[in-house]
Structure formats: C-alpha cells, structure tokens
Structure 1
Amino acid sequence: MLARVTAWTVRLALLWLLLGALRPAGPRALLETPQSVDTLHPQVCVHTRLIDEADEWKIQRTLQLVREMGASTIVEFFPWAYVEDRRDSYHWFVFDRIVRHARNQGLRIIARLGLVPFWARPETAQALTTLNTLPEESYDDFAQFVADFVARYAGDIDHIIIWNEPNLAFEWGFAQVNPAAYARLLQAVYAVAHAANSHVMILAGALAPTLEPEGSPHGLNDLLYLRALYEAGAADYFDALAVHTYGFTEAPEAQPAPDALNFRRAELLRALMVEYGDADTPVFITESGWNDSPRWTKAVRPSLRIAYTLDAFRWAENHWPWLENLCIWAFRFPTLTYSYPDNFALVGTDFQLRPIYYALQAYARGREESGLLWLPPPQEP
C-alpha cells in the first residue's frame, strides 16, 4: 500500500513539473537604456512591494511606472530571512534583481531590513515565535547581515530602516514592545554598518501612529515610544527618523493633537526630536496616504483621496523643511486581499493605473491643470 501511494506521489510530482515546463514564459526583463526621473518634486516617494513578485518582468514594469509617475525614491522591504536561511550562507539573487532594475530606472532605494530566519530565533521556543521575533542574543547576527547588505549594495542603497514599526507588538514578535531593547538593536547595528559603508544613513523606526497606552499588549503610543527611545540613549545610533503618518478621514491640514491620529502627527514627533536636541536629524515619512475603499469606515471618496494626497505633498513642501521624503503607501501589491487594504494602491495588481496615479504624475512632473483635470471633492451641503 505504501509503495502504491509513493508511486502516485511521484507521478503527481512529475506531472506538476511537466505542466510547469509547458506554461508559457512571461515577458523577458532585459535592461533598457539607463533612465532618469523627470520630476519637479523630489520629495515624492512610493512604498513598493516587489520582494514577493515571482516574475521579474513585473518588477521591471512596476519600477518603470514609478519612474514615469515622477517619483524618484522607493521604499522596499529586504527580508533577512529570504537571503540567509542558514547562518553565513547568502542567496542574494532575490534582492539583486530589484536593485538592478531600480538602478536602471534611475530610482533611489530606501531599504527596510527585518524578518528573522528560523536559526536566529530562540531555540527553546521556536514553535512559538514569529518571523518578527529577534532575541537580543541574535542582535549581532542581524548586525552582520546589515553590514553585509550595505557593503554589497553601496552606491545603490545608502538609506536603510532598521526594523519596522517596533512600537507595535505584532512587529515586535507579539512581545511587549521595548524601546530600550530597540535602542540596543540600533547600537548593535550602527558602527558595523558604517564601517561597511561609510555613506550609509541609518533610519530608526519606522514608528506606527497609535494611541496605545503604556502596558498595552498591542503596542505603545508613538510619542511615548520616541521619548523612551531618546531616554534610552538611542540618539547616537541613528542618522534619521522614519515615521508613518496616515490621514484616515481628515484633511492633511487638520490640526495635530496628542490624542488624534492624522497626517500632521509627524509634527508632534518632530517637536520631540527638537526637545531632545535632535533638530539637525532629518525625518523620512516612509508610509502615508489615504484609502478610498467603500467598505472601510476610515476611508474617503476617491476624489477626496486625490485632493488630500496632493495637498499633503504641498503642505510638506511648504511647512516641513526637515522632511526628506514623503512616501505613499502603497504603489502596487503583487496580490489582492479582496478587502480594504487593496484600496491603498496607486496601481492595480493587473497594472491598471488608477486616477490617483495620474494626479500624482501631473503634480510631480509639473503638469497640473486649473482644477478641471480631476473631479473636485464633494462639498458639504
């Protein structure tokens, strides 16, 4: 009986391989003549999700559309677990193809680094950990990966974000968030990264906008977290701060407040930096934007989303000299969730360009018209 089951398993595996071989290959992704970005607003940046694309031509096409829109910078995730599944054994090709095509399109990359391989997680409880669980005894292993990464991609990637939203429990391995531990992670990384690439800029964060109080199992208010980070002595171990700020249902000019989540919450974080003598340290907003799903209570109408997004860029340019980039979440997703997150995208999974893409293109490339090009937002009666 076992032999019969094994034989059928082998046959099915061979059939699967044969069908895969017969599947038509996707378009080739040959490099074109090196390009440059035509933009009047270099702050315009988009958060891409290329790391999980199976087809290289989709990576190329996505980055072509980024350039054609007029964004000069992308934020992309480069997971440690994807390239070092065994200690000291790297498989860089999945990163290489993203970097290769971004360079060809003339785009700057801000790399988000994180995601822990199995071997670097706690041996006594591996079954209970997540890919975001990084024990302190593995900080040096992560730091070595960061050093190897910035050395390999020096000149192509000179801005790196250490971790992502460490003030949320989900992003901190479902453990109690710990600003002091994150400060020690920055310290472990900082010197070795700069030794490997003297031009690299280390971004701390990126902090998620949240009102969670101290002791919450879900996370910690980003203002409280940043203060605790400074109190832990982290200021010497990052060159810029990355933050996330979303507008939800409010206009970008809505007043910030400690108990409110809106676009200008970034100003409160900036005030904390100044309070701690860190006024010379720049800020990168690496996630921002509005959602236009008809089935989410934190979303707005598509025309209002366009108006708010363009006004956010204008506000940043006119009021925030300390801001380097404003990066929209997200440019395009490789797959659909069939829920409200899909409505953050500027470009559909099928590469259909949405109206907000054209609006941002007109803004970035200085082709805006007199208000007739885009439908105006609805007015209150």
Structure 2
Amino acid sequence: MNIPINSTTWKRHRRLLLTAPLALAAAAAEFWAVRAPRSLHLPPQQRVVTINPKIGIHTRLTGIGDEGYIRRTLEQVREMGARWIVDLFPWAYVQPRSRFGFDWTGADLVVRHAARQGLQVIARLDIVPQWARPRDSNDRYLDEAHYADFAAYAAAFLRRYRADGVRHIIIWNEPNLAFEWGRRTPDPAGYAALLKAVYPRVKSAVPDAVVIAGALSPGGDLGDNAEVRMGDLRYITELYAAGAAPWFDAWAVHNYGAQQPHDAPPAPEEVNFRRVELIHDLLTYLGDGRKPIFITEGGWNDHPRWSAAVRPSQRVRWTIGAYRMALEWTWLEAMCLWQFSTPWQARTYQDNWNFVAADGTPKAIYWAVRDYAVPIDLRQ
C-alpha cells in the first residue's frame, strides 16, 4: 500500500538523509582522532655519557601531553648522567573505553623521546579503566575476571615499543598495600595469579621481555591482620608459597632511606636504604637469588619543615653514596630514585623529593649527581 507523503514530510526526510552521513562522519572522526598517530618532533639521536650505568630516576611524564616539557625533561635526565627512567603507563589511558582499540598518544610521547635521548625505559603498568572494574571501586581494583584483559594490554604495550628499546615492565605497584590492591586486604596469592596470567602472554609477544614483580611498600605489617599493609618480607614469603616464582624475571624494590644514611645497617624492623639487602637475602633463601633487582623508587626528602626530612647536605651526600653503592651490588640492575620533577608545585613536602623544580630549574641534588656521574672531561 502506498502512503502519500506531503511536501513538508518529504523535506524533513530529505534533510535527514543528507545530514545523517555528515553526523556519522563527524562521530567517526571524533572516535578515531584519539587513536590516530601524533606527529612527534623528535631530536637527533643522543647517547647517555656516565661513569655509572646503574644510575636511574623516576619520572612523572605520562599524561602531561606537553611535548616540549617532556623533551626538555628527558634531555636533563640524560645530561645528569642517568641511563634509566621509570614511568607509569596507565592501562586506563590506553584503553579508556573498552578492550577493543588502543590510544597510544601519551605513551608514544614519553617512550619515543626517551629513546631519542638514549634512555632505557622501565614501564610501570597499572591503573584500571572504568569498564574493567566494579562501579564503586577505585582504579587499583583488578579482579581475576579481567586479568586476561590486563595481560593483553601488557603484551600490546611491549609489542608496540620493543622497537624503541623497551623490554622492562613492572606489574602493578605496591600490591602489599590495601589501597593499591583496590581497597582490599593484600593478597599474595591473588598477585601470584596475576603474574601467572601476564607472564606467558607477554613472553609470547616479546620473548626477551623482562617482567618485573614486587615494588612493595617497605616495612612491616600495618593494621589489624595486615589490613592496611602486609609487611614486605612476609608478602614475599607468601608470594613464593603461592607459586609465583616461575612467572617473573626480576624484582622491584622501593628503597627509601628515611632519616638514616645510605650505609646504615639493615634490620627487619628498620626502613632504611640497605633494606634492599634483606630482600635480596630473602630471595636467595627462597632459591631465586639469581634474579636481578631494580630499585624503582627511593631516596631522601629535604623539606625544611617536614618531620621525616633530612638536611639538604645530607640528601646530597647520601644520594651520591647510594648511587656509588649500586656499583657494589652485583645483583642490582638499576637504581631509579624518586623523583626527577613534576610540572606543578604541590607547595608541600612532596616538592622536596624532586631533583628539578617545576619551572625546570635544577636543584643542588641535580648538580651534585651530574658532577659525580659526568666528569667535566666526559661532557660534550
């Protein structure tokens, strides 16, 4: 049956027919824009000149998006004589909408500029996108149902950046803290299961990848039944009891000196710089002493009014002493202290972890490390 269409209706239908493709094209352009490769302004290839190849630093660059700032920061890192950087590459940034498709824009900026500066990137992978966690959870909540999705992200990350020299990935951050484990009681068996899900997927994609576990909050139990933090030494023991040993290649340590010198002797009840020796001894006792250790956070704070800080002169001496000590620890691959800089001022003690101020001005600690690591006769 033919239904007559008056002129007004026809005009409305014609307008829809004409505008629908334009609307679809605009939506598609918006959808793909974040996925399109960004043209980068990369400098000529550089190389790191240093007398200590274990010197590293923790940067805070992913998510900034300012290519000029990222380039200047990484130039300063290289000029300081650091060969390694650690940076966070959040899963939530790369797959914000679903498990299908990737937005590599921010990661490309950091990785490719780091590669041009001759730096070795250690990529910390965590932060869960909203689609992969319960509605009322925090962004550290990763349940076992999404371990395979996270493993797919880790494998895709290394596939993309292996040509840029990236081999090292840290799986999660401080899983012995309730907050970092999604506001849940720390669970070594759960973390062991995560490593088991990630390791074969990553190795299949990039056989020479280095999967790094650990990066625990240093110290003993906190809270009733370790509900706030499970002590690092206890956590390691239970992780091995859960069968995690085959599923990682190296161990990461957060190694803060508190208010003690770099060479203060270690003890289970102490949090100081040489606590890493206790961790190495424990790994050896558990039959895994051959695996290298990476210090991926650590150092001292020199804020003038924070009760846990040290004097600036102490920070300088102890930091140089720590980098020198790295050469003595044959089982240590790299020492990446916290932290190089941030593009903002917190106006709290947090600013006094930095080696470089928010405006790019190097602090005394920066010049001291540079003077140690890059003697004048080696400078270009």
Give the TM-score of the pair, scaled to structure 2: 0.86
Q: Is this contact kept in 1: 2:44–2:116, CA < 8 A?
A: yes
Alignment partner of 1:340 is 2:349: yes
Match among 207, 217, 227 for residue 208 of structure 1 = 217
Match among 143, 150, 171 for residue 151 of structure 2 = 143
Residue number in structure 1 paired with 2:125? 113
Where does 1:266-277 land on structure 2 (aligned, <5 Å)? 266-277=276-287
Match among 44, 53, 64 for residue 64 of structure 2 = 53
- Give distance in 2, aligned partners of 1:313 and 1:269: 18
Q: Deviations over 1:282-329 (max 9, x none)?
A: 0000001100001211110111100010111122222x1100001110
Match among 237, 244, 247 for residue 234 of structure 1 = 244
Residue number in structure 2 paired with 1:154? 162
User: How far 1:334 moved relative to its partner?
Assistant: 2.3
Counterpart AA for 1:164: N
Q: Deviations over 1:25-68 (max 9, x none)?
A: xxx97322110001110110000000131311000000000001
Question: Which of 270-279 and 204-213 deviates more?
Answer: 204-213
Alignment partner of 1:174 is 2:183: yes
- Give distance in 2, aligned partners of 1:231 and 1:364: 41
Residue number in structure 1 paired with 2:339? 330
Residue number in structure 2 paired with 1:378? none
Q: Is this contact kept in 1: 2:65–2:109, CA < 8 A?
A: no
- Give distance in 2, aligned partners of 1:329 and 1:29: 27
- Give distance in 2, aligned partners of 1:289 and 1:299: 11
Where does 1:236-255 land on structure 2 (aligned, <5 Å)? 236-255=246-265
Q: Is this contact kept in 1: 2:92–2:127, CA < 8 A?
A: yes
SS in 2 for 1:154: helix
> Which structure: larger Rg?
2
Q: Deviations over 1:144-188 (max 9, x none)?
A: 111111111113210000001111111111110101100000000
Q: Is this contact kept in 2: 1:113–1:161, CA < 8 A?
A: yes
Where does 1:299-314 land on structure 2 (aligned, <5 Å)? 299-314=309-324
- Give distance in 1, aligned partners of 2:347 and 2:65: 20
Residue number in structure 2 paired with 1:81? 92
SS in 2 for 1:166: coil
- Give distance in 1, aligned partners of 2:145 and 2:41: 43
Residue number in structure 2 paired with 1:359? 368
- Give distance in 2, aligned partners of 1:335 and 1:210: 30
- Give distance in 1, aligned partners of 2:198 and 2:271: 31
Q: Is this contact kept in 1: 2:295–2:335, CA < 8 A?
A: yes
Residue number in structure 1 paired with 2:172? 163
- Give distance in 2, aligned partners of 1:150 and 1:209: 28
Q: Deviations over 1:90-121 (max 9, x none)?
A: 11111111111011111110000000001110
Q: Deviations over 1:262-291 (max 9, x none)?
A: 000001111110001111100000001100
SS in 1 for 2:342: coil
Identity of aligned residues (%): 47
Q: How many residues align?
A: 336
Match among 273, 276, 279 for residue 263 of structure 1 = 273
Where does 1:271-310 land on structure 2 (aligned, <5 Å)? 271-310=281-320
Q: Is this contact kept in 2: 1:336–1:349, CA < 8 A?
A: yes
User: How far 1:366 moved relative to its partner?
Assistant: 3.4
Question: Which contiguous aligned blocks of 4+ residues in structure 1 show a shift greater than 3 angstroms?
Answer: none
Give the TM-score of the pair, scaled to structure 1: 0.86
Counterpart AA for 2:215: A
